[in-house]
Amino acid sequence: MTALQGVLPITLTPFTDDGDVDEGSIDTLVEDYLDAGAHGLTILGIMGEAAKLLDDERERVLRRYIDATAGRVPVVAGVSARATRMALEYARRAEDAGAAAVMLAPPDNAKNLDLVFEHFRRVADAVSVPVVVQDEPVNTGVTMPAPFLVRLLDEIEGCRYLKLEETPTLPKISVVRHRATSQVGIFGGLGGLYLYEELLRGADGIMTGFGFPQVLVGTYERFVAGQRKEAQEYFFRYLPLIRYEAQLGVGGVTIRKQVFARRGSISSPHARFPAPPVDELTLAELDDLIAAVGL
């Protein structure tokens, strides 16, 4: 199986203006991501509004993304759930549909790390594809310290990747990279805010939902080609837009959907309630920044 590396955007789940799943826009989104140079896709994540999907909708989104990707890049499917049995079922369905890996966060507000460890072990043992351990304390309410993450990755054979979302990500990358005895792939997130520094710390790439994935791809490819100065300059050129788009409390997925809709990649910027609305001033500032950085 091809190792995961590079830029694997957290994909959107597009809806119509009426709030129904828009499968046609999944097709155009896949082409948009791949035209931007994405090295893989991560579907059904938090920015994909997975928690707002009914089970039958989730299955449709999963299979439509995998069919539209048609094996051109690996697809990682989010399988996080409040109960281990639910996560197990999601993981098995993802593997059956052709996902290259599954991404799993701890159950919400599970403070007992022994139970969290067992949650990951049971899901990893249930499938043959690798598990991406998602460290996302803001949304899950679960803090997984770096030594615990090292234990997960070293002791559970199926847990082969780590996606970090805790601020700051950089110290955790260093600890995991230096202490893990097994081969581990590490990915950053957080909208891309620290991509360059994450790569310097030893990250293998990034999984995030930034509206212009070509910027992340351009930074990554310059970096792995040994052009560190060029990668830094390229990344810093677009950082004001990355910073602005990362206002999750202001707009989050709604801002990103506006960006993709402006490019014609999706038919509607609709995000399912209770997504925070984006006011006209925010959209005007967004358009101004996009123009200012030359996108």
Distance (Å, whole) CA 11 – CA 46: 9
Structure tokens at 14: 């597009």
Structure tokens at 125: 């043992």
| 207 in a known ligand binding site | yes
Task: Give the pLDDT confidence score for residue 246 in this predicted structure.
Answer: 82
The whole-angstrom distance between residue 177's C-alpha and the CA centroid of its chain comes to 20
Q: In terms of CATH architecture, what is 6-235?
A: Alpha-Beta Barrel (3.20)
Predicted model pTM: 0.96
Structure tokens at 282: 């925010």
- DSSP code of 264? T
pLDDT range class, residue 2, cuts 50, 70, 90: low
* Residue closest to 271 by CA, chosen among 295, 248, 244, 243: 248
**List of residues 6+ apart from 56 with CB closer than 8 A:** none
Task: Give the pLDDT confidence score for residue 251 in this predicted structure.
Answer: 54
**Residue ranges covered by each domain of the chain:** 6-235
Per-residue model confidence as pLDDT tens digits over 198-214: 999 999 999 999 999 99
Q: Are 192 and 206 in contact (CB under 8 A)?
A: yes
In the predicted structure, residue 44 carries a pLDDT above the cut 80: yes
